[in-house]
Structures are given as C-alpha cells and as structure tokens.
Amino acid sequence: MPKVKSTCCYCGVGCGVVIETDDGRITAIAGDADHPANFGRLCSKGATLHLTAGTAGRALYPELRRSRSEPRRRVEWDQALDHLAARVARVILEHGPDAVGFYISGQLLTEDYYVFNKLVKGLIGTNNIDTNSRLCMSSAVAGYKATLGADSVPTCYADIEHAHCLFIAGSNTAYAHPVLFRRIEEARRANPAVKMIVVDPRRTDTAASADLHLPILPGTDVALFNGMLHVMVWEGRLDRAFIEAHTTGFDALKEAVQEYTPKTVAGLCGVPAEDIVQAARWFADSPATLSLYCQGLNQSSHGTDKNAALINLHLATGQIGRPGAGPFSLTGQPNAMGGREVGGMANLLSGHRDLANPAHRAEVARLWGVAEVPATPGKTAVEMFEAARAGEIKVLWIACTNPAQSMPDQALVRAALETAELVVVQEAYRDTETAAYADVLLPAATWGEKEGTVTNSERRISRVRAAVPPPGEARPDWVIAVDFARRLEWRLRFGNRGEHFSTLFPYRAPEEVFNEHRETTRGRDLDITGLSYALLDALGPQQWPFPAGAARGAERLYADGVFPTADGRARFVATRYRTPAESPDARYPFRLNTGRLRDQWHGMSRTGRVARLFSHEEEPLLAMNPEDMARRGLRDGDLARVASRRGAIVVRVKASEEQRPGQVFLPMHWGSRFMAGHGTNALTVSVFDPTSKQPELKHAAVRVEKA
Ligand code: SF4
C-alpha cells in the first residue's frame, strides 16, 4: 500500500506519522520511527487518525445564503468567492477596514497562516486577525518576551533525558501531551534519582506520579513561585555569577519577594510550607532543572505574570542554556508556534516582528510590496467578538476553528455571531457549532489532504503531506485565502470582478508561500533561510533557527548567556500575586477548573467521530470531591445543574478524590452539539490577561445543585 510521511494534527508534541492509503482512501496510521518528536510512538488520538478520515460530517461544497431567513444553498466556488469579494469590499468602503475581522486557528499550516496574515494586514489594511492560539499560548509568548526578550522556546525534548529535576506546572502532561509523558517516564526509569515536582490543584495522573505534588489553590502560582524564590534567596541557593553576568532587575525582584515567606505562601496556596521549601531546594540545587508548563499558567487573567515568575526561578538559579535546564512551554495546538512565526496574530508581524515597532512595520511592508502595514493594534480573540456584538465588526471570517464551542462566555460569542452582518466559516466539517451561524460555508481540506509545514513545541518544523485528495470540492485553506484575496484586490483597486491577477498573491503551490515566509525570517531570531522543502524532505524535521549555511538547527538557545534584548541580558520581572478574576462567594461557592481528557481533542469535530475514543470517558462528567457531594445530597452518576454568572448546564457528577473540597473540574470538549446549553464554555469567563489578552478559561465561580 502507498505510504506517506506526515505529522499528527492534534497536539504540539508534533509526532511524525506514516499514513497508509488504498485506492484513494486513508486506511491505516503508524508512528514515524524516524521522527525525532516521537520515534514511532503515538497516543490514542494519533493512533486513530485514520478512523477520522472519511467524509462523515464533512463540508463538501460551498454553501451560501443571502439572507438569514433562508437556508444556505449549494453554490459554485466562483459564485461564493465573487459574492464574498463584493460584500467585503463594500463593507471596507462603507465602514473602513477595521469593520472586518478574521479569527483563524493554530491548527492551520504555516503556509495557510502566512497567506491569511498578508491578506488581512497587507491587502485589507487592518490588524483584526487573531487566532485560537490566543486561548492557548499568548501568555507564554508574553512571558518569554518580558524575561528572555523573544518568543523563543529555549529548550528541546532531549532535555527531558538530561534533566535531574522536572518541574511540571499547570500541565496534565500524561493526558495533554501523552507521547512526551512516556518520554518523561522512561527518563525517570533510566535515572531514578530524577526528582519530579508537579504543581496542580488536581491530583491528576501526572501529579499522582510525582515525587512532590503541590496541590495549590487555583490561580496562586505566582505566590508559589515567589515563595520558592524567597527560599532560594534566604538559603543562598542562587547562581550569583549568572545573575551578575547575564541578567538585570534582580534587586527589585528580591525586594518584591521578601514578603513571600514560606508561611505566608503556605496560607495563600493551601500547601505545607515545608513542601514549598523542598520544591525550592530541588529546583535550585539540581544539576539541571527543566520546567514544563501549559494552560494552568497560560489561561489566566494574570498568565503573563505566572510565566514570568516561573522563568525568574530559572534565571535566579542559572537553570537555563544547558542540557536539561530551562523553561519549556508545551504548545497546546499543532501549529501555534508556526502561526506566531508568520505573525498571524493581532499584535504580531511576520518573522517575530512587533506591530508596535514602526521599523518592523516598514520592513514587512517592503517585504510584502505594500505601501504600509496599519499601526493600530487589531482586536484580539475576545475583543473581536465583543466588537462584533457591538456592531463595530461587520464581517467575521472564521477558519479552522469552532468559537461557538471553544471561546469562553458562549452567550457573548453567540450574540456576536448573530449580530455580525456576514459570517464566513471556512471549515472541513459542516456540523460544528459555529458552522450553524455561517452565511457562507467554504469547504476546506484537512489533515491527510493538504501540504505544508508545522512547528512543534521544541521549534521543530515538520512537513505535513497530502496522502489523498480532499473530498468533494474542498480546497486547501491557503488556496481559498488566495482565491479570495485576488478577487478582493481587484475589487478594491478597480471596483469590478476583473481577471483575478495579483502580484501580491502569485502563489501556485504551498512551497512558494513557504519560500516567501522564509525570506521574512532573514536575520531574525528564527532565521530559517537555510531551510527548504527539499532539505526537510531529505533530512527530516529541523529546529529553528536554521540560517543559510548552517548544517543543522539549534537544539537549545542561550547557551552563551546572551539574550535577544537590547543589552543582551535577560530581565527579571517583579511580579505580585493577584487573585483570579472571579472569586467564589455565597451564591457561586465552587471554583471551576476546565481542561482536557486523555482521548479527546478540543471541540471533538474529529475525535468525536471515533467510537473507541469514548471508552475512556463517554460523556462530560463534573469531577467533585465526595465530601462536597455528600453535603449537597449528590451521588455518583446523579445529574447536577452547574451554573455560573453567565450560563448553566446539566451534567452527571463523578466522585473524585483528585479534587480538593471547594473545587470542581469539567472537561472542555463538549459543546452544544453534544449537550443541552452551550457546553462547558457557557460557564467560563472572558476576562483576559492585560498583556497577553489570553482569557481565564481555567477559573470561574460556579454553583452546583442536584438537577
Ligand atoms: Fe498526536 Fe500529540 Fe498524540 Fe503525538 S502526543 S500522537 S502529536 S496527539
């Protein structure tokens, strides 16, 4: 049978896969033994990818409705795209370019992302393009930039084998990044002296296997990290030489953490003071400490502070730039990092440039061949839906993501989708919650059907390859964006349908898009001018930076102690503990945490089609401490009504010793397709971090009553 090497489309581990086909159909999947992210391993989701490859639920042809009172009807591609070009051009002419917003996805390929970003910022002339990566990694980005000077993960997967202390914070790695967790287990088996500390309010499978579990109260991470630094200062466990030679701002931070004594922090975090001291000692004294962290730190109204406070610990102890040492943000989505590389967010520009920097805007305008890139920051995810609800954004174009399931505060999101004059949904599946709101549905190719690249958590760029043609009339996302862009360019320039010729969007293949993106990285921290499709095909996946003339990419960064800041020094950031946006009270006494299950992915548009993936958890269950259940007269399996200030849903309750009293947990995956109400995110909060603009999906105050 023909076999094609590609990359898993789920999490940021970025496992290599081998797709087997028969007669134009995907029939089997195996791990790619040559891929350095997984060496042949796959988790339950990756191993069942072939079972998601049929046409069930797929969008197969363009659909259009001219008024909300009509159903959508099948149309030709030309008809759909001409209609969109005319309507979007009219909105731009009547209301200005900021009346248009694009909400795209960390599951798009880098080439898709690049074209969308150029279309919005270079042609339409607005920065209103943001992605579901805003819900995922933007606090990690802001934390890296504040401390290390650039959005560059300094570590790599091989550091797991070199580490002597693994500090896992806000990550159930065993569920969310399973192949990486197998690697952690192996490293611990090979060296039983390795210490593993897990910081998580829940006793997850990851926490249960730790040498030290710190079940902190939700949202108290900054207090914990400051407390650990206090111990390191008090007990003289700092790397003074590193601080002196390679950092700035330590004195202010030292002053700030004075008040975070172990006793004070124990009170704030709800963990024993001696455990805080123990964690500080293991972290500082280990020959190499590697931190692994994810949404527990990022999805917070002070996520940037949480990230910075953790990186402070690495800088204070010199635990960075050496094998096995450094901060390592685990990417949630398969290509959140690739999207940032091309600047596909409201505040970023191509090649890790900043929108706020006039020189960077001028560089990108020159590279793209446009007069200018607008200076006004675009609306970020939550802001975009708020602006649509307020009637400021008239056109919402949504690609490869399902905000009517995945965004917090679903009442807000659905009001926005109803208020917008034109909702375009570019999707592989026609039965998602968001597709129901589409005025125009554009069928997109998906995994196994399209070509391009993605970048995983360790800066490794892998090829994604097509094994079969897309079904029906579905097209690759970059093709759809280019076909629309050519029409819109003609409309804006000449006011008619024209010939669709374009100098801005001349691409005939994804490789041409990649090559243009590559040129925007020249001389930047992520320089990939030494890479090409041919080299990736010949040598396999590569890490960036990989500048022209290099023989290989950089395994880890900052080994020389020089950081990409103006003075070459990393910066300590003095952070203070703040409570989450919404505190429990008498009406809403429980803290709701949301997160992933082992066998499901995001809104289940793909994993929800594989029966065997429901054998782990068949339905969304509210995990609750047995004492809390007894007090409310609830028994295992009872239906309970869970209500927040924004909405309510009914789910079954599961007694769980993983939960501390006063806290409950719900998986994030189920939306309104699977349950009454608007799913888990009917309850969550849209309040976001002031710097990263990432919403606090992991903490809301709720009430639980017998239904
Ligand atoms: Fe796919 Fe992530 Fe599982 Fe690897 S660990 S197979 S990338 S879902």
Could you tell me the distance, in angstroms and rounded to a whole number, from the CA of residue 511 to the centre of ligand 1?
Answer: 25
Which pLDDT belongs to residue 488?
A: 95
Residue 503 has pLDDT above 90, yes or no: no
For position 675, what pLDDT does the model report? 81
Q: Is the CB of 6 under 6 A from ligand 1?
A: no
Asked if residue 677 has pLDDT above 90, the reply is: no
Binned at pLDDT 50, 70 and 90, residue 676 comes out as confident
The model's confidence at residue 498, banded by pLDDT at 50, 70 and 90, is low
Q: Name the average pLDDT for the chain.
A: 96
Answer yes or no: are the C-beta atoms of 640 and 589 closer than 8 Å: no
Q: What angle do CA 626, 631, 635 make, to 5 degrees?
A: 50
Q: Does residue 49 line the site of ligand 1, with CB under 6 A?
A: no
Of 292, 327, 288, 279, the closest CA to residue 180 belongs to 292
pLDDT digits over 61-116, tens only? 999 999 999 999 999 999 999 999 999 999 999 999 999 999 999 999 999 999 99
Q: For residues 658-682, give the mean pLDDT.
A: 92
Task: Determine what percent of the chain is predicted with pLDDT higher than 70.
Answer: 99
CA distance 481 to 119: 8
For 394-442, what is each residue's pLDDT tens digit?
Answer: 999 999 999 999 999 999 999 999 999 999 999 999 999 999 999 999 9
**Does residue 665 have a pLDDT over 90?**
yes
3-state DSSP helix/strand/coil % of the chain, to nearest 5 = 35, 20, 45
Mutate which of 35, 39, 43, 44 to test ligand 1's pocket (most atoms within 8 Å of Cβ)? Answer: 43
Q: Quick check: 49 and 43 in contact, CB under 8 A?
A: no
Find, among 423, 421, 428, 420, the residue nearest to 447 by Cα: 428
CA distance 627 to 630: 5
ipTM passes above 0.90: yes
CB of 11 closer than 6 angstroms to any ligand 1 atom: yes
Mean of pLDDT values over 483-507: 85
What pLDDT score was predicted for residue 387? 98
Over residues 360-404, the pLDDT tens digits come to: 999 999 999 999 999 999 999 999 999 999 999 999 999 999 999
Measured CA to CA, the distance from residue 488 to residue 480 in angstroms comes to 12
pLDDT score of 495 more than 90: no
Domain 3-52, architecture per CATH? Single Sheet (2.20)
Can you tell me the mean pLDDT for 160-179?
Answer: 98
Determine the distance separating the centroid of ligand 1 and the alpha carbon of 121, expressed in angstroms.
33
This prediction has a pTM of 0.97
pLDDT for residue 499: 64
Burial tier of 369 (Cβ tally within 10 Å: 0-12, 13-18, 19+):
exposed
Query: Cβ(16) to ligand 1 under 6 A?
Result: no
| 431 alpha-carbon distance from chain centroid | 23
Gap between the Cα atoms of 579 and 675, Å rounded: 31
Ligand 1 centre to CA of 151 (Å) is 23
Least Cα distance to 327 among 340, 302, 310 occurs for 310
665: Cβ contacts below 8 Å, ≥ 6 apart: 202, 592, 593, 594, 595, 622, 623, 656, 658, 659
User: Is the pLDDT confidence value at 502 over 90?
Assistant: no
User: Where do we find the tokens 């803290």?
Assistant: 591
Q: Which two tokens stand for residue 325?
A: 């040492």
Our measurement of the distance from residue 691's CA atom to the centroid of its chain's CA atoms, rounded to an integer in Å, reads 16
Is the pLDDT at 170 greater than 80? The verdict is yes
Lowest-confidence pick of 205-209, 337-341, 618-622, 694-698: 337-341
The CA distance from 447 to 10, in Å, is 10
Running DSSP on this structure, what letter comes out for residue 604? -
pLDDT tens digits for range 585-602:
999 999 999 999 999 999
Pick the CATH number of 63-135+335-443+475-505 from 3.40.50.1110, 3.30.70.270, 3.30.930.10, 3.40.50.740: 3.40.50.740
- Whether residue 531 has its Cβ less than 6 Å from ligand 1: no
Distance separating alpha carbons of residues 306 and 692, to the nearest angstrom: 12
CATH fold of 138-330 reads Dimethylsulfoxide Reductase; domain 2 (3.40.228)
Instruction: Kindly state the percentage of the chain with pLDDT values over 90.
Output: 95
Tokens of 640: 């309970």
Q: Do domains 63-135+335-443+475-505 and 590-706 have the same CATH topology?
A: no
328 lines ligand 1 (CB under 6 A): no
Task: Categorize the per-residue pLDDT at 241 as very low, low, confident or very high, splitting at 50, 70 and 90.
Answer: very high
Token duo for residue 476: 């690759």
Per domain, the residue ranges of the chain are 3-52, 63-135+335-443+475-505, 138-330, 590-706
Assigned architecture for domain 590-706 = Beta Barrel (2.40)
State if residue 15 touches ligand 1 by the CB under 6 angstroms criterion. Answer: yes
Whether the pLDDT of residue 606 is over 90: the answer is yes
Distance 29 CA to ligand 1 centre (A): 12
Residue in 35, 38, 48, 616 to alter for ligand 1 test, most ligand atoms within 8 A of Cβ: 38
